[in-house]
Amino acid sequence: MSEAKKGITLSRERAYDIILSPVITEKATMITDKNFVTFKVLGDATKPEIKAAVEMVFGVTVKAVNTITVKG
């Protein structure tokens, strides 16, 4: 079974390190109507780590994590 199925155990410190800041743009604001939230995260964070961090910090259930890597 993969780590995503088993669940990732993160320290609270690592969870706060992974989530750097929310992305506040016009497009990000428009998709909040569909219960999507955008965050800037560490470049080396994996999808299971991001999911676990958001669930730990905000106390919500995450259905999916989509990522994009941007230069700059």
What is the tally of structural domains in the chain?
1
- Has residue 51 been placed in a domain? yes
pLDDT of residue 54: 97
* CA–CA separation, 30 and 68 (whole Å): 18
pLDDT of residue 5: 56
- Has residue 32 been placed in a domain? yes
Kindly report the CATH number assigned to the domain that includes residue 11. Answer: 3.30.70.330
User: Are the C-beta atoms of 68 and 27 separated by less than 8 Å?
Assistant: no
For the beta carbon of residue 2, count every other beta carbon within 10 angstroms.
6
pLDDT of residue 1: 44
- Has residue 11 been placed in a domain? yes
For the beta carbon of residue 55, count every other beta carbon within 10 angstroms.
16
pLDDT in tens, 23-53: 999 999 999 999 999 999 999 999 999 999 9
Range of the domain at 14: 3-58
- Has residue 68 been placed in a domain? no
